[in-house]
């Protein structure tokens, strides 16, 4: 990190942030409230970093009256990402977005850079940051092409998005600050200014571990939630109970437009074809939260495998190497895992978020966080703890 940038930002809990006006984090996770979506167990951290080698770094820009944005970087492994590419798959539910690097993922089925999330108008700056960081790595003097993978959602409802406050150095700081371990969630990084279902959205994460009889693999998910619909938690239409949802009284009181980026990591030895299938099943988890999949939403899922046996190393790319992969007939448990982890990651992004105030186009905007206690009471009325099958 440059000396100038270090003087502006402070590091806390795996994130790099400008001063935070929200105060202490008073929210909790869905699981901490006694709710456990699905049937599979989580990893130790219940985070994408439960997949060995995956690291996450975040820069939070939250200052002044109207800067509410940031960067979240996901590192697929700790080695040379460009030389040792990971197989990857991409699925799009609704393509109203600006996902840089998408066509090369589809064409070649691999990723050669960090995966960076930010706001819509900062994709260019993020690409520059990824490219500059990649070119600066050891033994990269011969590189003349980098497929920077940058996803986005539009945080203009809370952020001075036209101010272009995310700069390449913020992206580099997020990449270089990436760590394994717990991942900060809620109003941090690329989720600092996002809105979901009319409430504060953000960054969320979750994981699932398969038993050894089903392969013993881990699936981890990280989301940037910024979309609308009828908020549904653990099968309960919480949004209607709270009186806030798309098409209430057949009037667009709450616009459903927005986007979500879903990043899926696994240590299962999957081909890019089966990673594409895995990414598609993430949308099952998205649907369970009540997503509207609206015309103006960009709904993207990227999945990659960290398994060394399927990594596209320089030697494997130059030789006629045989790569073994997990068979189609054993994919179903992984599909269940990614759906469950996606659903929980999204809810965690909202449970962990904090009420955010900003000045947008000259007027004050306040986006409230979910009242976790109120939501808990709604869930308890619908099905008290211990009563679900």
> What's the confidence (pLDDT) of residue 36?
82
> What's the confidence (pLDDT) of residue 31?
84
**Secondary structure (H, E, C), the chain:** CCHHHHHHCEEECCEEECCCCCCCCCCCCCHHHCCCCCCCECCCCCCHHHCCCCEEEEEEEEECCCEEEEEEEEECCCCCCCCCEEEEEEEEEEECCCCECHHHHHHHCEECCCEEEEEHHHHHHHHHHHHHHHHCCCCCCCCCCCCCEEEEECCCCCCCHHHCCCCHHHHHHHHHCCECCCCCCECCHHHCCCEECCEECCEEEEEEECCHHHCCCEEEEEEEEECCECCCECCECHHHHHCCCCCHHHCCCCCCCCEEEEEEEECCCCCHHHHHHHHHHHHHHHHHCCECCCCCCEEEEEEEECCHHHCECHHHHHCCCCCCCCCHHHCHHHHHHHHHHHHHHHHHHHHCCCCEEEEECCEEEEECCCCHHHHHHHHHHHCCCCCCC
Rounded mean pLDDT for each run of 10 residues along the chain, 389 residues in total: 35 38 52 86 97 98 97 98 98 96 98 98 98 98 98 97 98 98 98 96 98 98 96 90 60 63 98 98 97 93 97 85 88 98 98 96 95 91 66
> What's the confidence (pLDDT) of residue 355?
96
| Residues designated as active site | 259, 297, 299
> What's the confidence (pLDDT) of residue 27?
60
């Amino acid at each position: 990190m440059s000396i100038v940038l270090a003087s502006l930002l402070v590091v806390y809990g795996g994130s790099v942030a400008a001063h935070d006006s929200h105060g202490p984090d008073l929210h909790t996770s869905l699981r901490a409230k006694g709710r456990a979506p699905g049937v599979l167990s989580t990893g130790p951290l219940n985070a994408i970093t439960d997949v060995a080698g995956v690291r996450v770094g975040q820069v939070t820009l939250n200052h002044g009256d109207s800067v509410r944005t940031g960067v979240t970087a996901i590192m697929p492994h700790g080695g040379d990402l460009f030389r040792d590419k990971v197989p990857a798959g991409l699925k799009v539910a609704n393509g109203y977005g600006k996902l840089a690097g998408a066509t090369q993922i589809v064409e070649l089925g691999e990723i050669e850079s960090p995966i960076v999330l930010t706001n819509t108008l900062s994709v260019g700056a993020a690409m520059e940051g990824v490219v500059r960081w990649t070119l600066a790595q050891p033994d990269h003097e011969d590189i003349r092409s980098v497929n920077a993978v940058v996803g986005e959602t539009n945080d203009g409802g809370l952020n001075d998005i036209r101010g272009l406050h995310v700069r390449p150095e913020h992206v580099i700081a997020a990449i270089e600050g990436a760590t394994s371990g717990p991942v900060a969630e809620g109003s941090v990084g690329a989720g600092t200014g996002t809105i979901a279902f009319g409430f504060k959205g953000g960054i969320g994460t979750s994981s699932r571990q398969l038993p050894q009889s089903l392969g013993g693999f881990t699936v981890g998910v990280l989301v940037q939630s910024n979309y609308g619909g009828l908020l549904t938690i653990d099968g309960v239409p919480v949004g209607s109970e709270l009186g806030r949802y798309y098409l209430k009284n057949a009037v667009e009181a709450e616009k459903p437009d927005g986007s979500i980026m879903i990043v899926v990591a696994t240590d299962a030895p999957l081909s890019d074809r089966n990673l594409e299938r895995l990414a598609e099943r993430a949308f099952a988890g998205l649907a369970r939260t009540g997503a509207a999949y609206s015309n103006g939403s960009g709904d993207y899922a990227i999945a990659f495998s960290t398994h060394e046996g399927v990594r596209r190393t320089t030697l494997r790319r130059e030789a006629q190497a045989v790569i073994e992969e997990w068979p189609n007939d054993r994919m179903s448990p992984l599909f269940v895992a990614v759906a469950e982890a996606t659903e929980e990651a999204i809810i965690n992004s909202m449970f962990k978020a904090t009420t955010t105030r900003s000045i947008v186009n000259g007027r004050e905007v306040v986006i409230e966080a979910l009242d976790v206690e109120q939501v808990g009471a709604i869930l308890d009325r619908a099905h008290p703890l211990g009563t679900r099958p």
